[in-house]
């Protein structure tokens, strides 16, 4: 490990990797995140209708996704944009879980909504704009549900782990937290954000928490999502969070970065050889360490 990282990250004692806690497995419904399986979470940015969500849920489940994503409450940049269906959206998400068996991840924006959303969601998502909403993080820590914590668009990894520590302190040392690298804001304008692919191995080195990648928000461009997904698999991510929509060009939110059903199925097929590389690296890891230590 880089000696600098010891002082930079070890102060977050509840989420930092130690000899006693090398890896955590987070359970969302019947899905384990951080174990040997590469977990894909997929679905529309926003729940728009029952038909839209159920159709998407059936397709992504058949293609291999384990968790259905969908926003019931949407934090939009414009007050004139679609803000989500709210409680009705949560009810549709629950129906999709009942019909497909997929676990549910959805975003919570306010501490006042935590109890309500926890009744419907298996995994509580903290969006990029809420990463430093400490009142929300503390409330989530005691809600009895695991938390998907997205990196803020201008946040350092140290700041991300600080927010994870806030949640972990509220859980009294039993953190059920998944970290998400979703791209950060840089001077580049060709993509929506810049995927910090190095964040994945750094976080996996210094923290015991699972790490997933959101290639949709990183790219902002549909054709780049499968490529970034492959990169995430190769560098050791524990899974993906991907936006999928039956008709992306008519989507009420983030249509430009949403995959069509065909594109999602192709992406899942194309990921297989890259996941095989990850699996081989995981199995060879202890042997390589042992060999290195004998020289």
Q: Where are the domains of the chain?
A: 3-286
**pLDDT at residue 74 in the model:** 65
**pLDDT at residue 173 in the model:** 65
For residues 196 and 182, the answer to whether their CB atoms sit within 8 Å is: no
Phi and psi at 240, nearest 5°, equal: -135, 155
**pLDDT at residue 124 in the model:** 97
**pLDDT at residue 204 in the model:** 95
Question: Which residues, given as ranges, of the chain have pLDDT below 70?
Answer: 74-83, 173, 285-295
Pick the CATH number of 3-286 from 3.30.2350.10, 1.25.60.10, 3.20.190.10, 3.20.20.70: 3.20.20.70
Cα 45 versus chain centre, distance: 13
Read off the pTM. 0.92
**pLDDT at residue 78 in the model:** 58
* Structure confidence by residue, pLDDT tens digits, 282-292: 777 655 444 55
For residues 113 and 145, the answer to whether their CB atoms sit within 8 Å is: no
Kindly tell me the burial class for residue 128, based on how many C-beta atoms sit within 10 Å of its own C-beta (0-12, 13-18, 19 or more): buried
């Amino acid at each position: 490990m880089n000696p600098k990282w010891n002082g930079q990250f070890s102060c977050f004692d509840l989420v930092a990797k130690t000899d006693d806690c090398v890896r955590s497995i987070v359970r969302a419904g019947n899905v384990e995140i951080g174990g040997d399986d590469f977990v894909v979470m997929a679905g529309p940015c926003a729940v728009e209708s029952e038909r839209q969500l159920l159709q998407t849920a059936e397709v992504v489940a058949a293609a291999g996704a384990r968790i259905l994503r969908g926003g019931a409450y949407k934090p939009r940049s414009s007050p004139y944009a679609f803000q989500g269906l709210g409680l009705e959206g949560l009810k549709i998400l629950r129906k999709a879980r009942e019909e497909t068996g997929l676990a549910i991840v959805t975003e919570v924006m306010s501490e006042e909504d935590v109890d309500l959303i926890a009744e419907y969601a298996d995994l509580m998502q903290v969006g990029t704009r809420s990463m430093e909403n400490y009142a929300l993080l503390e409330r989530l820590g005691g809600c009895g549900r695991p938390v998907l914590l997205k990196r803020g668009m201008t946040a350092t990894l140290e700041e991300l782990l600080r927010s994870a520590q806030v949640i972990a302190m509220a859980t009294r040392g039993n953190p059920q937290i998944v970290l998400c690298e979703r791209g950060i804001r840089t001077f580049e304008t060709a993509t929506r954000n810049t995927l910090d692919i190095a964040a994945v191995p750094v976080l996996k080195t210094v923290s015991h928490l699972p790490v997933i990648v959101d290639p949709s928000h990183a790219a902002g461009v549909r054709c780049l999502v499968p490529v970034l997904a492959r990169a995430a698999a190769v560098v050791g991510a524990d899974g993906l969070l991907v936006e999928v929509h039956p008709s992306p060009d008519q989507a009420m939110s983030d249509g430009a970065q949403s995959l069509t059903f065909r594109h999602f199925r192709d992406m899942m097929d194309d990921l297989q050889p890259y996941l095989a590389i990850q699996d081989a690296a995981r199995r060879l890891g202890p042997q390589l360490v042992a060999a290195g230590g004998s020289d």
